[in-house]
């Protein structure tokens, strides 16, 4: 690649753009294409922005609106070479700032987690950009499914970064929304680790702050509602979950965020499944809705398939569930998310259990539980363990069931599982010890917990 190809935007590009009413859009698109197609360093990072890409592209499209008939080219720019050069320098500075902040994020996250807060506080000029705070929120969102504890630590860095921007004149307008989003994503990460009390406390504190200073952006408010709905689903607070989902759906629709609407629909379906209403789940999450999820985001499509497989197993339709699951093996295998393999094994166990193939179900549930524990998904692993217990009970393996139940509570408590989840595990252990365990009890314990495989955290909001 020549040095000329590496240039971001050249002077003649500005000259050409200045002759057109939509010149600003051309320059913005030129910069974006540079990131994607030309720059070896920026291209992969553009992809890592995930849903933030949509925000930037929306801003570019705002510059590309059709010009009115009365619009005239900016001839004054063409005649003013100093202005052209100033605009070129400004654009280069913005791109350089983006790459600089991206590098700061990389340096920061390569440090051990316990060192990161001190590094931010002790820095002279680094780590004081709203753009860095935004990148950290997105990093938390990306990591939460595979490394929830680390995701929570990353989100906790955002207030430290934004605190260093408050001396700016004027302070960054996006700071309140970024603080709220970081707090919500941190709370969600705590939920994913299984620490529901800590997550509840974090959301309560966030709601207290928002009551004092409400957010004006409906998409940010919807994102927070969507994340909090997941907590209420896990905690079996049905009314609160439904209220959050309703507000999230309204907010995403108002913001024109179809991805957010799709994610909310899948969460609502998971809530119906956890309430033992599989027929309503299937009516809400129709095959057409599943196809819309496919076009929205690959992981959302897997979540939609997961919800339907669960419902079909609950309705004792294992053959249809198996066809749906096996027909989407590629969707589970092609994703980079580590939870997908565990989810497929867990669903395979559900199908086998519904068919009465207990040895296959036992192996699948053990594999899924081990995989989920390995990536810190303690809550989901606890629910899979209840399926394993039901399999052992139906197979008459009382000794294996007793071994499983004996250390269950201590093992999951040490991994941060608490609240309703730990209570369900304790009831199982007590029932096995007193020889009062039954299929009805096991089914009731599973219904007390939400179905795993809920969709990922809401997409980043428009700032």
Q: What is the pLDDT of residue 188?
A: 95
Higher pLDDT, 60 or 443: 443
Residue 80 has pLDDT above 80, yes or no: no
Q: At residue 235, what are phi and psi to the nearest 5 degrees?
A: -85, 0
pLDDT score of 2 more than 50: no
Question: Worst-scoring range by mean pLDDT, 92-101, 165-174, 382-391?
Answer: 165-174
Residue with tokens 């690959």: 298
Alpha-carbon distance 258 to 264, whole Å? Answer: 10
Nearest to 242 by CA among 210, 215, 267: 267
- The model carries a pTM of 0.66
Q: How far is CA 133 from the centre of its chain?
A: 17
Q: Which domains does the chain have, with CATH numbers?
A: 3-110 (no CATH), 130-163+172-297 (1.25.40.10)
**What tokens appear for 435 in the block?**
């020889």
Of 24, 22, 26, 44, whose CA–CA distance to 35 is shortest? 44
pLDDT tens per residue, range 373-419:
888 888 788 889 989 999 999 999 999 999 988 888 888 888 777 77
pLDDT at 311 over 70: yes
Angstrom distance (rounded) from CA 255 to CA 295: 19
Q: Report the percentage of the chain scoring pLDDT > 70.
A: 74
Q: What confidence tens digit (pLDDT) does each residue in 414-456 have?
A: 877 777 778 888 888 899 989 898 888 888 887 766 444 444 4
What was the pLDDT predicted at 368? 93
Kindly tell me if the per-residue pLDDT of 296 is higher than 80: no
Highest mean pLDDT among 177-191, 257-271, 417-431, 440-454: 177-191
The arithmetic mean of pLDDT across residues 322-349, rounded, is 88
């Amino acid at each position: 690649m020549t040095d000329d190809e590496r240039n971001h935007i050249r002077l003649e590009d500005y000259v050409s753009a200045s002759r057109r009413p939509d010149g600003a859009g051309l320059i913005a698109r030129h910069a974006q294409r540079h990131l994607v197609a030309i720059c070896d360093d920026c291209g992969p990072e553009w992809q890592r922005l995930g849903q933030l890409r949509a925000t930037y592209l929306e801003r570019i499209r705002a510059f590309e609106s059709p010009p009115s008939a009365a619009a005239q080219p900016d001839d004054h720019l063409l005649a003013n070479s100093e202005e052209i050069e100033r605009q070129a320098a400004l654009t280069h500075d913005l791109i350089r700032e983006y790459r600089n902040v991206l590098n700061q994020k990389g340096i920061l996250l390569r440090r051990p987690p316990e060192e990161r807060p001190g590094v931010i506080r002790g820095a002279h000029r680094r780590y004081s950009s709203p753009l860095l705070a935004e990148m950290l929120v997105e990093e938390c969102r990306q990591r939460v499914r595979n490394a929830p504890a680390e995701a929570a630590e990353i989100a906790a860095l955002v207030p430290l970064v934004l605190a260093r921007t408050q001396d700016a004149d004027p302070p960054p307008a996006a700071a309140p929304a970024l603080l709220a989003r970081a707090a919500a994503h941190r709370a969600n990460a705590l939920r994913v680790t299984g620490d529901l009390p800590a997550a509840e406390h974090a959301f309560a504190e966030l709601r207290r702050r928002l009551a004092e200073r409400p957010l004006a952006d409906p998409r940010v408010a919807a994102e927070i509602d969507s994340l909090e709905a997941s907590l209420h689903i896990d905690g079996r607070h049905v009314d609160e979950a439904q209220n959050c989902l309703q507000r999230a759906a309204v907010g995403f629709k108002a913001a024109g965020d179809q991805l957010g609407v799709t994610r909310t629909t899948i969460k609502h379906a998971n809530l119906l499944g956890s309430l033992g209403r599989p027929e309503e789940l299937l009516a809400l999450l129709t095959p057409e809705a599943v196809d819309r999820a496919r076009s929205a985001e690959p992981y959302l499509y897997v979540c939609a398939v997961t919800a339907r497989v669960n419902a079909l197993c609950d309705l004792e339709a294992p053959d249809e569930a198996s066809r749906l699951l096996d027909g989407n093996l590629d969707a589970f295998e092609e994703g980079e998310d580590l939870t997908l393999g565990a989810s497929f094994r867990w669903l395979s166990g559900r199908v086998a259990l519904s068919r009465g193939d207990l040895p296959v179900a036992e192996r699948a549930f053990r594999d899924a539980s081990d995989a989920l524990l390995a990536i810190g998904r303690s809550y989901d692993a606890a629910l899979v363990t209840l399926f394993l217990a039901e399999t052992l009970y139906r197979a008459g393996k009382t000794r294996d069931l007793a071994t499983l139940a004996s250390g269950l509570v201590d093992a999951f408590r040490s991994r941060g599982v608490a609240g309703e989840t730990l209570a369900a595990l304790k009831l199982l252990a007590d029932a096995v010890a007193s020889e009062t365990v039954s299929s009805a009890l096991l089914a009731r314990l599973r219904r007390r917990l939400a179905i795993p495989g809920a969709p990922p955290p809401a997409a980043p909001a428009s700032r």
